[in-house]
Amino acid sequence: MNGVTDTAVADNHALSGTAAMGHAVAQGTIDVSHGTILYVEDVTVSFDGFRALNSLTLTLDVGELRCVIGPNGAGKTTMMDVVTGKTRPDHGKVFLGQTLDLTRMDEPSIARAGIGRKFQKPTVFEQHPVWENLELAMQADKGWWASLRAQLNRDAQARIEETLETIGLEASARRFAGELSHGQKQRLEIGMLLMQRPALLLLDEPAAGMTDDETMALAQLLDRLRGTCSMLVVEHDMEFVAALAGERSRVTVMAEGRVLAEGTLDEVKRDEAVIESYLGR
């Protein structure tokens, strides 16, 4: 049992295809029998009459790492606010898997259902060692503690060690989080999210404020997580996006509250509408 391998998503959230076979999906599980982890359809959010999201439709496959780019004010953060329950849409559907209607759930329930969100500013416990930050984050994963009380210590330790390795902070385990560089803090916060074994991770401009080296270390970390959880990454740094998307992953371009284009990075870069509204000539 561990937090960051291929089995992590399955053993915690029981990503199941059983619904397709006619079985009920147990409470707290995510039914991804159709291969979709996130389904957003025709979502509109208005602020004083201004449509921050305007009929946004977007789906994310299980295990997919999707980069979302687009100009300031395109609605990228608002989209994440809707998915995490921070903002209620005026209209539209938002589902986690086939069955979990996120528009009917509050923020804590959505987090417990398996959606982890990384905000731009790192929020780690500065006065605590790196190791303890991960331990505290794991304690928020109540189901896990309850079900494994018997061999708690050994498993907990293994999970923390594995996460330390994933986020590249093994050598810093005993340092206070407050002493870490900005990039290391960002990786620690991602580690803390991983301790709760999310099925879907939302990252809003994770590379902002990072040095080039830190940015590439982050790209490597997210690349390592590929397949263990689904990820939606909003980012302006095109080198970072290129490193994550590679030649094959889908990239979504948002503008004016909706999807302007979707395709490989090469495809969207050649899209006339994208050049016009975002990339420039």
Ligand X SMILES: Nc1ncnc2c1ncn2[C@@H]1O[C@H](COP(=O)(O)OP(=O)(O)OP(=O)(O)O)[C@@H](O)[C@H]1O
Count of residues interacting with ligand X (CB under 6 A): 10
In the bound state with ligand X, the residue whose beta carbon lies nearer, of 53 and 167, is 53
- Alpha-carbon distance 6 to 255, whole Å? 34
- Alpha-carbon distance 263 to 250, whole Å? 5
Is residue 153 a contact residue for ligand X (CB under 6 A)? Answer: no
176-180 own/partner pairs: CB under 8 Å, 24+ apart: 176/126, 176/127, 176/128, 176/129, 176/130, 177/124, 177/125, 177/126, 177/127, 177/128, 177/129, 177/130, 177/133, 178/124, 178/126, 178/127, 180/124, 180/130
Q: Which one of Mg ion, ligand X, none is in contact with 100 (Cβ closer than 5 to 8 A by kind)?
A: none
In the bound state with ligand X, the residue whose beta carbon lies nearer, of 63 and 75, is 75
Per-position b or e across 198-218, b if 16+ CB within 10 A of its CB:
bbbbbbbbbbeebeeebbbbb
Instruction: Please pick, from the candidates 63, 75, 85, 97, the single residue that binds ligand X as defined by CB under 6 A.
Output: 75
Is residue 73 a contact residue for ligand X (CB under 6 A)? Answer: yes
Distance of closest approach, residue 77 Cβ to Mg ion, in angstroms: 3
Per-position b or e across 116-155, b if 16+ CB within 10 A of its CB:
bbbeeebebbeeebbbbbbbebbeebeebeeeeeeeeeeb
Distance of closest approach, residue 215 Cβ to ligand X, in angstroms: 17
Piece of the chain touching ligand X by CB under 6 A; list 72-80, 162-170, 211-219, 238-246: 72-80
Q: Which one of ligand X, Mg ion, none is in contact with 72 (Cβ closer than 5 to 8 A by kind)?
A: ligand X
Q: Which one of Mg ion, ligand X, none is in contact with 74 (Cβ closer than 5 to 8 A by kind)?
A: ligand X
Is residue 89 a contact residue for ligand X (CB under 6 A)? Answer: no
Is residue 52 a contact residue for ligand X (CB under 6 A)? Answer: yes
Instruction: Name the β-bridge partners of 186.
Output: none
Q: Which one of ligand X, Mg ion, none is in contact with 186 (Cβ closer than 5 to 8 A by kind)?
A: none
Distance of closest approach, residue 76 Cβ to ligand X, in angstroms: 3
Distance of closest approach, residue 253 Cβ to Mg ion, in angstroms: 14
- Residue numbers of the site for ligand X (CB under 6 A)? 47, 52, 70, 72-78
